Structure 1
Amino acid sequence: MSSWAQTQVIGQVGKCTHGTGPNNQPYLTFSVCHNFKKAGSNESQWYQIVLLGSATNDLSGIHKYLSAKSRLVLVQGRPEYEPYVKQDKKTAGLKITIWATSLPVFLDNKPAA
């Protein structure tokens, strides 16, 4: 029996890029910021979202809507975690990439960029 994890994130879109990878497979990457309170202070967690292959059928249309920064979106997919050391060379960080399993759902009424 195989298993895998599924994650959902609701947050604001940051930077968005698109291109073509190996074997001419289209891709779209964008960041999503989730804001929350921790011990009385405001915190932010950034996620890198990767959308590959057939899920990016209308790449230009999706990219156009994601290029409007601060759009509120819901993204779901398989998480991947990668520890790293921050620029101060002392503090540990955790890069979270979500390999999207479906197209993002736009939760606001902002027009495309």
Structure 2
Amino acid sequence: MRTIQLTETNEFTPGAMKRFFLVEDSEFFKIINFNLDAGVTFPVHSHDLDGELSILVLEGEGWFLGENDTEIPAKSGDILISQIREPHGVRAKDRMRILVTIAPPI
């Protein structure tokens, strides 16, 4: 058992996305913290494998993105859940922190 302090990953890069792998050594799941500066897009993408993912908005506002230009408003506390094969992405309106969980890890 262990704890992770998300305050330790509260860093932003101007005009870019910053990534912190919080759990990458598990065979069962992976947790990644992405911090997007205002206006930054985490491009829509998918993975050619089975599994699920969740994207939790920790702070900020923006949009969950999907195929065919799908945009779903996203704010602090919102969670997107999808298949890993389903196209997904995020665009930040203002500084945005998201926590991505992937099972099984890729």
RCO comparison, higher one (Cα < 8 Å, 6+): 2
State the TM-score, normalized to the length of structure 1. Answer: 0.23
Q: Which has the larger radius of gyration?
A: 1
TM-score (norm 2): 0.24
